[in-house]
Structure 1
Amino acid sequence: MKNKFYSHGKLLVTGEYAVLDGALSLALPTRYGQVMEVEETENPVLLWESRDELDQVWFKTEIPLPLQDPETPGKGATTETELTLRKLLQAVEHQRPGFFSAAKGYRVVCQLGFPRDWGLGSSSTLVNNIAQWTGTDPYKLLSMSFGGSGYDIACAKHASPILYHRAGTDPTVKTVDFNPPFRDSLYFVHLNKKQNSREGIRRYRESQADKSGLVRELSELTHRVVEAKTLQEFSAYMVKHEELISNTIGLPTVKESLFPDYSGSIKSLGAWGGDFVLAAGGPETPAYFSNKGYKTIVPFREMIL
């Protein structure tokens, strides 16, 4: 018998970087996610296979059970991906000792519903699926593997927009109605490259800007974004948010650097410099970005749950 688990992808609309310091953030679970199927076997080995959105295998491995010493989770790993997987499995063992015993084995097949370079949470959806399967805490698994604020785990677990706040290690998640009347003027545009969030976080951490003041301002902006009734109002908040982050990390906004002639407003989502941005503008928006070579343009209705 196969057990099937599913987790939603994510997009962070407000609070990037500052969510790590407790800023209230608006995060949106996506219609795209990841499925994981698990089947028990009699052979004491973990057979693992990861497939992309085209059903092509991009990673596979066999890991003997029981696992190696938890203090050396990387022993036997031949690739960075396998090392990460082994660390995740050992994190499960820390919460549930003996889960991966030699009494049985497993065949696991993971199926992404979006391209790996989209940055919608191939890691967070994996972590949450593993947590569902093993009955463990996904936030703790994340902390022991990839790290981060945990908002992506909250998105994986929820089927509607959320307000996310992390005080210390304890996250607070509140579902919220965010389906604005101007949603047909919102588009998610992929910048044709995947961004390494660790580099952006490092830059943020090294900034000497007033982080406590930034957290307060972004938290207030988050409330205003959720309550915005018009596209003009929403766009003004986007611009203000971009200015605050730009001043903090010392980088120009994506509109300044790539799209200065765009008539609407643009906001980075998550780590600056890659993945998706949110464009708010008129019906000419898709043609504008397509003409500049950005072909992945997803309307709000098609992206967000």
Structure 2
Amino acid sequence: MEFYSNGKLFILGEYYVLEGAKVFALPTKFGQYLSVFPLKTKVLSWKSYDADGSVWYNDEIAILDIILNNQSTTDKVRNTLIDILHQAHLMNPSILENNGFLVETKLTFPRNWGLGTSSTLINNIAQWFQVNAFKLLQKSFGGSGFDISCAQNNTPVTYQVVNNIPVVKQVLFNPTFKEHLYFVYLNKKRDSKDAIANFRKKQKNLTEEIKQVSQMTDELLQIQNLETFISFFKQYEQNLGEILETLPIQKQLFSDFKGLVKSLGGWGGDFVMVASAENPTEYFAKKGYHTILKYSDIIL
């Protein structure tokens, strides 16, 4: 059996999604495969490959340890994997009843890019166990669930949690100026759990902001020109920066850039979205950022 899930880029509504805002995200051309082969022994033989073909995780776990959620005290990756599989087992005990398995996962993007190593894994495991991926996420890793919506869809999506139920809508986003949109990797990965914890610490009453961001998600889909797009997101970054008590990334690192540099997901790492009338490759390369992808290179 083989399963596949798309990676994600969170374009509008990061952090706000945790409070129920309607947000906007794009699935990527990159993702993760999960292949499952039956074994006669009652073990899970697990091997995870990075995009370059190197093995980044290799382990053997007794099926009983998954059923009982027996976690080691030191190996974080192993503990997380056992917990996800344990929760999937509780949701559908029939899968691990009689077999062991050889499992291989293969990323098509470098693991440090932060395009959804965890969310693509959870969605793949949910497909394997034939369970609800959003529920599996909540029972194991936690988070808003927007990344699961990207894992499952091949088009842009809006995402909102209403009465604890994820509402996912496929939408049209095909801006005439997309050849002026780029995604630049900042050479460091941001831990989404840390980013969420930091937001929770600074949390204020955001009722008005949630309403505003939901409206902005609808407005974004109507923007027809690059200048409007740039000013739209500069205002958004300014507003979120005040809530996070953090300078937007453009003011921190790229204040001389003519155009837009917008953080994506957890502020302070992974990718930024760049909107520029001119090709920005040389500008970012001079600053030491060499992973610069055009919109058409990364977005489904």
Into which bin does the TM-score normalised by the smaller protein fall? over 0.9
- Match of residue 47 from structure 2: 49
Give me the whole-angstrom Cα distance separating, in 1, the residues matched to 2:116 and 2:185. 14
Aligned pairs (5 A) from 1:53-92: 53-67=51-65, 70=68, 73-76=69-72, 79-92=75-88
Deviation of 1:203 after TM superposition, in Å, equals 2.5
Matched-pair contact (CA < 8 Å) for 2:180–2:279: no
Code of the aligned partner of 2:82:
R
Q: What root-mean-square deviation, in Å, do the aligned CA atoms of Structure 1 and Structure 2 show?
A: 1.3
Say which SS state the counterpart of residue 140 (structure 2) adopts.
coil
Give me the whole-angstrom Cα distance separating, in 1, the residues matched to 2:281 and 2:219. 26
Deviations 1:36-74 (A, max 9, x none): 11111212111100000011111011111234554xx24
Give me the whole-angstrom Cα distance separating, in 1, the residues matched to 2:71 and 2:214. 43
Deviations 1:2-50 (A, max 9, x none): x110000000000000101111111100000001111112121111000
- Match of residue 213 from structure 1: 208
* Change in CA separation of 1:60 and 1:208 when aligned onto 2, cut-off 3 Å: closer
Deviation of 1:199 after TM superposition, in Å, equals 2.5
Correspondent of 1:284 among 279, 288, 297: 279
Say which SS state the counterpart of residue 19 (structure 1) adopts.
helix
* Change in CA separation of 1:266 and 1:40 when aligned onto 2, cut-off 3 Å: same
Provide TM-score, normalisation by structure 2. 0.97
- Match of residue 92 from structure 2: 96
Matched-pair contact (CA < 8 Å) for 1:65–1:100: yes
Deviation of 1:227 after TM superposition, in Å, equals 1.0
Say which SS state the counterpart of residue 99 (structure 1) adopts.
coil
Structure 1 gaps of 5+ residues are none
Give me the whole-angstrom Cα distance separating, in 1, the residues matched to 2:167 and 2:63. 36
Deviations 1:128-178 (A, max 9, x none): 000111101111111122110000001000001001011242000000111
* Change in CA separation of 1:85 and 1:162 when aligned onto 2, cut-off 3 Å: same
- Indicate the larger mover: 220-229 or 124-133: 220-229
Give me the whole-angstrom Cα distance separating, in 2, the residues matched to 1:68 and 1:88. 9
Aligned pairs (5 A) from 1:223-238: 223-238=218-233
* Change in CA separation of 1:108 and 1:68 when aligned onto 2, cut-off 3 Å: closer
- Match of residue 247 from structure 2: 252
Matched-pair contact (CA < 8 Å) for 1:269–1:278: yes
Matched-pair contact (CA < 8 Å) for 1:66–1:100: no
Give me the whole-angstrom Cα distance separating, in 1, the residues matched to 2:235 and 2:172. 22
Give me the whole-angstrom Cα distance separating, in 1, the residues matched to 2:74 and 2:48. 16
Give me the whole-angstrom Cα distance separating, in 2, the residues matched to 1:240 and 1:216. 16
Matched, 1:265 2:260: yes
Give me the whole-angstrom Cα distance separating, in 2, the residues matched to 1:271 and 1:282. 26
Give me the whole-angstrom Cα distance separating, in 2, the residues matched to 1:228 and 1:80. 43
- Match of residue 165 from structure 1: 160
Code of the aligned partner of 2:284:
F
- Match of residue 145 from structure 1: 140
Structure 2 gaps of 5+ residues are none
Give me the whole-angstrom Cα distance separating, in 1, the residues matched to 2:50 and 2:268. 24
Matched-pair contact (CA < 8 Å) for 2:65–2:71: no
Deviation of 1:261 after TM superposition, in Å, equals 0.1
Matched-pair contact (CA < 8 Å) for 1:224–1:237: no
Matched, 1:10 2:8: yes
- The percent of aligned pairs where both chains have the same amino acid is 39
Q: How many pairs does the alignment contain?
A: 300
Say which SS state the counterpart of residue 12 (structure 2) adopts.
coil
Give me the whole-angstrom Cα distance separating, in 2, the residues matched to 1:118 and 1:94. 31
Code of the aligned partner of 2:279:
E
Correspondent of 1:28 among 11, 26, 29: 26
Deviations 1:222-278 (A, max 9, x none): 111111000011111111110111010100000000000000011111100000010
- Match of residue 36 from structure 2: 38
Give me the whole-angstrom Cα distance separating, in 2, the residues matched to 1:261 and 1:29. 30
Deviations 1:103-150 (A, max 9, x none): 221110000000111110000000000011110111111112211000
Matched-pair contact (CA < 8 Å) for 2:46–2:59: yes
Deviation of 1:100 after TM superposition, in Å, equals 1.4
Give me the whole-angstrom Cα distance separating, in 1, the residues matched to 2:117 and 2:276. 29
Give me the whole-angstrom Cα distance separating, in 1, the residues matched to 2:12 and 2:283. 24
Matched-pair contact (CA < 8 Å) for 1:67–1:100: no
